[in-house]
Structure 1
């Protein structure tokens, strides 16, 4: 019984050494200071347009600025924004109350259509 207690630390030390293999010494790389993130220029908050979209030229100009979904919801709070992957029915609406948006890789709205 005493031999078992003596062999246990020896076995665990050998297992640790065997696990290293030919990897070389382990070390922590020196910490490099992170570069300060460059903040994009703040866009002025859009003025909310209440109701459904009636002025499509102004709406198209707004979409051309590639707003985020949050900026869209602030600018047009009464228009339902449907993003890709969102489950929605496709009933016909002729009052421009629901906008199916197309997004770019950064998640900004690049276009879409009313349905």
Structure 2
């Protein structure tokens, strides 16, 4: 359904009614995003049915929940943030950064530039 809709919702269930053609697609979202999805129900239904080539989904139902979702944690919509390894600075790298920033007269700026240089050198040495 696209990045916008998939970033704020998750499909939970496709259920079929008794003796009827067309199913109900249930989407899980947080309370703040439910009104936005509610306005796009018909477009979502049309996109899904375009994939199937017939009117497979007759209705779209929006279910709201908290940010963590059900007990299984299904509604965690934020992408997982990758853990960044802590840079390991060696005394040689630190000394090289301090020497590079040493011509700067302002102490605060010199320290900030030395720290920046150390971070850059650590990143290139990983």
TM-score over 0.5 for the alignment? no
TM (norm. structure 2) is 0.20
TM (norm. structure 1) is 0.21
Higher strand share: 2
